[in-house]
Amino acid sequence: MRHLDLRVGLAALFGIAFVSTASMAQDRQPEFPPPSIIEYTPRSTLVVPVHPVPRAKFPVVDFHGHPPRLSSPEAITGVITAMDSLNIQVMVQARPSSGERLTNQIEAVKAAGYEDRFVFFASLDLRNVEPGSGARIAAQLEADVAAGAVGIGEIGKGFGLRTQKADGSRLAMDDPELDVVWETAGRLGIPVFIHTGDPAEFFEPLDYENERWLEMALFRNRRFNDRSRFPSFDDLMAERDRLLAKHPNTTWVLAHLSWYANDLGRLGELFDRYPNVHAEAGAILYDLGRQPRSAREFFVKYQDRILFGKDSFRPNEYPYYWRVFETADEYFDYYRDYHAFWKLYGMDLPDEVLKKVYAGNAYRIIPRMP
Ligand SMILES: [Zn+2]
């Protein structure tokens, strides 16, 4: 619609007729039924140098780890084997836990002799918040940190979208009842790792101009475009920003580059506004890989604010990240077709930036890292 308006406007301005691709297709129809977007998977005929990177160039901290629950020796050694081959030095268990579930994992990792390879984040029980909840949650957090947790989160996207207060209303992220929790995190010197919203397209109409049509069509729970049930993407982010502004002494790490990887200027403004804010680069590789020059410039400029994280624990997917970050390879495949229908390009990051993004920033933000 926007394109059409522009075309009509330009045509009026210059007195010329624009032939849209749609009308060209009407003039000449394919002789065969066109394939669906799922069926059409053309082989690339491009021949260029190829540099697979099975192992990261420098040791890595996966800030957004979701390994299986680390409660048995088999589970632990399985993850360690993958970490060793990928050069992941430390995995943050960002599938958070609390109380006994937390201490069981910490004990199991110690018993297996790998306490220097895993750190654990605490969960917050944000269900049914009512007066008094903040103090209760903060007290549990203190206990979990005393037991060995070194951060909070990942706080899932339900916070802000679906989590309800005891009275049935939506729990706003900047609800004052929770202030004491965020202040406690600041006082304890632990980061708060928070995932807010989802790609902005998930909040838009599901039409043929939506970049994420396939993913939205595949997953009912990724459609947030019903304004009677969900806030808009911008309203949600504004609410999150009020939370960040209210707690300048708390260290925040925004998951998935705050879903601004397709608009890095917006993320840069956020970094400039809130010096206490960092961001983690998991599951948005498709957006970095389609703008390798802009992304490189951004990573160089904000090299102290960005952390590596992978999100889902699939060992064979990590090398795509190494390749995008480390090489200058061109037009290569991404691993998940419903995230992106395009190819990736390498950012060719300088070594000193790689070292910070891979591990240095995580060591600074988590003071109690082994
Ligand atoms: Zn996650």
Measure 153 CA to ligand 1 centroid, in angstroms.
Answer: 9
Measured CA to CA in angstroms, residue 37 lies from 29, 320, 338 at distances of 18, 23, 10
Q: Looking up tokens 């998977």, which residue turns up?
A: 41
Measure 66 CA to ligand 1 centroid, in angstroms.
Answer: 7
Structure tokens of 31?
């002789």
Measure 209 CA to ligand 1 centroid, in angstroms.
Answer: 28
First to last CA, the chain: 54
Measure 195 CA to ligand 1 centroid, in angstroms.
Answer: 7
Q: Could you tell me the domains of the chain?
A: 1-29 (no CATH), 58-365 (3.20.20.140)
Q: Which helix (H) or strand (E) holds 287?
A: helix 285-288
Measure 155 CA to ligand 1 centroid, in angstroms.
Answer: 8
Cβ-based neighbours of 170, under 8 Å, separated by 6 or more? 162, 163, 164
Q: C-alpha dihedral over 197, 199, 205, 209, to 10 degrees?
A: 170
CA 43 to chain centre: 29
Measure 9 CA to ligand 1 centroid, in angstroms.
Answer: 44
| 338 and 367 Cβ atoms separated by less than 8 Å | no
- The residues whose Cβ lies within 5 A of ligand 1, an ion, are 154, 311
pLDDT of the chain, 370 residues: tens digit per residue: 344 444 444 444 444 444 444 555 668 999 999 999 999 999 999 999 999 999 999 999 999 999 998 989 999 999 999 999 999 999 999 999 999 999 999 999 999 999 999 999 999 999 999 999 999 999 999 999 999 999 999 999 999 999 999 999 999 999 999 999 999 999 999 999 999 999 999 999 999 999 999 999 999 999 999 999 999 999 999 999 999 999 999 999 999 999 999 999 999 999 999 999 999 999 999 999 999 999 999 999 999 999 999 999 999 999 999 999 999 999 999 999 899 999 999 999 999 999 999 999 999 999 999 8
| 287 and 253 Cβ atoms separated by less than 8 Å | no
Measure 158 CA to ligand 1 centroid, in angstroms.
Answer: 12
| Amino acid at position 185, single letter | A
Structure tokens of 184?
């406690």
Measure 337 CA to ligand 1 centroid, in angstroms.
Answer: 19
